[in-house]
Structure 1
Amino acid sequence: MDATHSNAATAVSRIADGARVIFQRKDWSKECVVGSGKFLMISKMKTRTDEIVGLPYGCLVEWNKQEGVFQRVDKDDDEDDIEDYGEEDGDNRNLVDDGSAQSLTLGEISALKSSGVTGMELIGNLVKNSSTFGQRQEYSKEKYVQKKKDKHIYRFRVLQPTLRLVCEVYNCQRSQKINHLRVDTLAMMLSFANIRHGSNVVVVDGSQGILLAAALQRTGGAGRIVHIHSGPQPVIPAFDMFGFDEEWLKSIHHLSVDNLEVLSSNVRILSSSVVPAAEPEPSPPFKRRKLSDPQAEAVRFIQNTPMDSLIMSTRLHPKSILLFLLPFLRLSGNFAVHHAYREVLVDTFNALRTLGSCVRICLNETWLRYYQVLPDRTHPENNMNGSGGYLLSGTVVERDAVGDKSANLDALMEDLVQI
């Protein structure tokens, strides 16, 4: 029995053919499907990924540009292979960056690359032929070597997709596709919405499926998720990176935002927003869309089951969609709405206060700062995202006269403060 469990654990930790992995290199990340006939674009060159299959997750690989293959590297830091030239206590004041310190010409460096030398051997030659390397301070030497490693050595950490890594993949290349959603904002959404194991959640996802994946991980496949998407079919490439179990996928019901009108006869759903329906006219009669069996099942579930939470991140204006879906949340149900622009959520915030059926309505701006942590060199990173968007959250309660009076009292108190 122990041997069986050991073999199963080993199989899980190894990269299988056709698996989705993330290649990470310093501040750069990219998702790729590895296996036979699969390629990864690196420096405008198509590279086969056959060598990745069978390696453990988290391993370090180096790309051989001359041969166009990946080779596994046993250790991460090879700076010990570079000899230390010069004195320990150097001085950078007399260094002049005019390009004359390096005795190797561009042609000689290209010839070394063509001869098949490794990246560390090439960096060793550059250090040896630099007339100013020995005069540098220790920190300056480390920075010089690291700069050459970033330029001449292509090393990647092969990782299994997680929510944090997938957010980093999109934020380092195309953050607009996920509405500039950062991992700290996503964590706050899950916390404010109180999504837990076995919850029934409504997910309005316009962020390539990241919200849907986060909700499914939290519920663990035990609850039910109604995924509301734009367009006839869901487009969720980020969700597909995780490779969830088929049993977990059965807990998801997909419903197009264009078919939300079947939930209530009092509204009409337009392509851009949800608006109150006009008074019914005798002619022509309004014809409802014919739903597919999966979407009809999603409608029946959300009509018959009070939902515990609602999370939303979409490019559409969230006010009308949120106000339409709030009645399907149970009392004390929580919601969290993310948007890249504040003005949109301010409008939604005012509408919720006027509605009088929500409490603890908060509008927050998420903020995150990364730090470099090194001996005697700990400081904030120079390049960071300016904003991860804005977050609107609240709790649904029963609407009554007391709630209306409370809303009016809050508005009165704000006026008194301004006076």
Structure 2
Amino acid sequence: MEKSDEIKVGDFVIVQRQEYTKLHKVKQHGNMVLGKYTVEMDNIIGHKYFDTFQMKNHPKNRKLFILEQKNEVTTASTGVNIEKSGVDNRNITLDGEIQTLKKEDIDKLTDAELNSNVIVEQLINNSKTFNMKTGYSQEKYIKKKEKKYFEYIQVLKPTIRLLANMFYRQDPTKILNIRIDDLSQILSYANIHSEGCHLLYDSGSSGLMMATITNSLGKNTGGTVIHMHPGNECQKTVFAALQFPQEQKDRCINVNLYSVLRYFYQNKEHAESTNLDEPNLEECLEPPQKKLKTSESDTVTTIGQSQCKRPQWQLDNEQAAKLLEKKCDSLIITAKEHPVGLAKELLEFLKGGRQFVVFSLFREPLQDLYVYLKSRLDIVAIRLCSNFLRHHQVLPERTHPAIMMTNGGYILTGVKLNS
């Protein structure tokens, strides 16, 4: 078994229970809440990704469940035998007494053993109307009850697709309503390739866009991504979950938009003024002159040594400014803000003959941007579109589009010409 396939402490995993998925960081003696169940996750350490585990009652705590690895899964859909079915459901009345099994009885079954087959079978046997329902209604009833008491989970390795679908199902606003098809179109329109320098402005996708571009660049390549964000710290939930190697993380430069632009233009106009703020190399190599004593036990470093220390954001700004000076191979903007000002500023750092993509949740801001870009002579092939992806249920005599769903956003694309 390879080390990358083994689940270790500190790894991020995606726990799947039927259609429900949740992101979890593995810890020693760590628990995870799955619906109304609290599961102890210690037993997954040392196992492989994509293994299946069964939730077993804890011997000392009935509210806690432990995990046991299983090679086979038995479901109520295949384990329950249906004796007979009705013709239609017109004569069924819901009076609140069709189920003779009370909540206390179900709790006793759950406390004894969480087994969806046993619980669903008891619910069917104690239902007065189950045999009167049609075959479709019976199948739907079994799936509904099995989903509630399902005792198997699968531990998956995080991928872009799984994380994008998980966040989109939980709360689409956390990733700016970017669907998985929107994500693929953004990468395609921007022409993301492994040896290019790509510029990204992202203000609220939980690190999804940054992680997707970094993943597309691949390991041990020459590609870099400059990730600009509006705040002091960027959002990196998805980026951290993918556990990129350090070499790949170093090629993703996170900088504050206003800070890096201020540094870039000041450095361009007054190159010598920034050198005055940087420590002298000879001063850094000098021995300590004196120590400032703050207390009897604590001392601070010398003035010369403290001047040599530079915060990470300054180093990132310097690295990003050097890349911006050479200009970038693509530009992607996924923002909550109005995109006209952002596009006007960031298009200056895009090489000629390169593509740019702007994604917004609303159409009106992109329409304003469309009008502005039309007035420029160096921008061509401007296109504003929105693709409506709809999932369909495909079953015999029951194929229909999904009823509950949300619309994605709008994408504006274009090409900048050589000036």
| TM, length-normalised to structure 1 | 0.81
Q: 1:293 aligns with which of 315, 335, 340?
A: 315
1:213 is aligned, of 199, 211, 214, to 211
Contact 1:311 1:337 in 2 (8 A): yes
Corresponding residue of 2:378: 357
What aligned pairs does 1:89-128 form with structure 2 within 5 A after superposition? 90-116=87-113, 118-128=115-125
- Which runs of no fewer than 5 residues in structure 1 stay unpaired? 1-6, 268-286, 400-419
Cα–Cα, structure 1 residues 307 and 58, in superposed 2: closer, same or farther, change >3 Å?
A: same
Query: Match of 2:9, as an amino acid?
Result: D
| Matches of 1:261 and 1:252, distance apart in 2 | 20
* Percent identical residues: 28
Q: Which amino acid aligns with 1:187?
A: S
2:44 paired residue number: 52
| Residue 3 of structure 1: aligned partner | none
The 5 Å alignment of 1:305-384 reads: 305-384=326-405
Structure 2: give runs of 5+ residues left out of the alignment.
269-276, 278-310
**Corresponding residue for residue 25 of structure 2:** 33
Shift of 1:265: 6.1
- Give CA-to-partner distance per residue, 1:19-61, whole Å, 9 cap, x none: 1111233443221112313332223554321122233322333
Work out whether residues 202 and 310 of structure 1, in 8 Å CA contact, stay in contact via their aligned partners in 2.
yes
Question: How far off is 1:73 after superposition?
Answer: 4.1
Structure 2 residue aligned with 1:151: 148
Q: Classify the secondary structure of the residue corresponding to 2:329.
A: strand
Matched, 1:397 2:417: yes
CA distance in 1, matches of 2:37, 2:76: 27
CA distance in 2, matches of 1:381, 1:235: 31
Per-residue deviation at 1:62?
3.7
CA contact (8 A) 1:224 1:252 kept: yes
Shift of 1:363: 0.9
* CA shift in 2, pair 1:44/1:119, >3 Å: closer
Deviations 1:326-352 (A, max 9, x none): 122111111111111111111111111
1:68 counterpart SS class: strand
Contact persistence 2:199–2:328 (CA under 8 A): yes
Measured in 1, the distance between the counterparts of 2:77 and 2:376 equals 66
Deviation per residue, 1:97-147 (Å, 9 max, x gap): 223222222222222223335222111111122232223222222111111
Residue equivalent to 1:187? 184
CA offsets 1:208-234 (integer angstroms, 9 cap, x no match) = 211111111212142111111122232
Q: Could you say which residue in structure 2 is the equivalent of 1:261? A: 262
Please give the alpha-carbon distance, in whole angstroms, between the structure 1 residues aligned to 2:104 and 2:256.
Answer: 59
RMSD of aligned alpha carbons: 2.5
Partner letter of residue 338 of structure 1?
F
Q: Secondary structure at the match of 1:157?
A: strand
Aligned AA (1:245) = P
Residue in structure 1 matched with residue 174 of structure 2 by the alignment:
177
- For 1:123, the aligned partner's letter is V
Report if the CA contact (8 A) 1:86-1:135 is conserved: no
- Partner Cα distance (1:312, 1:100) in 2: 57
1:339–1:117 CA distance, 2 compared to 1 (3 A): closer
CA contact (8 A) 1:28 1:172 kept: no
Structure 1 CA distance for aligned equivalents of residues 154 and 401 of structure 2: 24
User: Does residue 232 in structure 1 map to residue 232 in structure 2?
Assistant: yes
For 1:157, the aligned partner's letter is Q
Closer/same/farther in 2, CA of residues 80 and 205 from structure 1, 3 Å limit: closer
Cα distance in structure 2, aligned partners of 1:192 and 1:347: 20
Letter in 2 for 1:254: N
Question: Structure 2 counterpart of 1:394, which letter?
Answer: G
Contact kept in structure 2, 1:179 and 1:340, CA below 8 Å: yes
Q: How far off is 1:205 after superposition?
A: 1.8
- Cα offset, 1:243, TM superposition: 0.4
Shift of 1:262: 2.9
Does residue 162 (structure 1) correspond to residue 163 (structure 2)? The answer is no
**TM-score when normalising by structure 2:** 0.81
CA–CA separation in structure 1 for the residues paired with 2:8 and 2:101? 44
> 1:234·1:254 contact (CA, 8 Å) conserved in 2?
yes
* Cα distance, 1:145–1:72 mapped onto 2, change above 3 Å: farther
Question: 2:336 & 2:35 partners in 1: Cα distance?
Answer: 32
SS at match of 1:172: helix
Distance in 2, matches of 1:380 and 1:371, equals: 4
SS in 2 for 1:255: strand
CA contact (8 A) 2:201 2:333 kept: yes
Q: Which moved more, 1:230-239 or 1:43-52?
A: 43-52
> The residue matched to 1:158 in structure 2 has which SS?
strand
SS across alignment from 1:166: helix
1:245-303 deviation digits (Å, cap 9, x = unpaired): 11111212222112213333699xxxxxxxxxxxxxxxxxxx9xx96122211111211
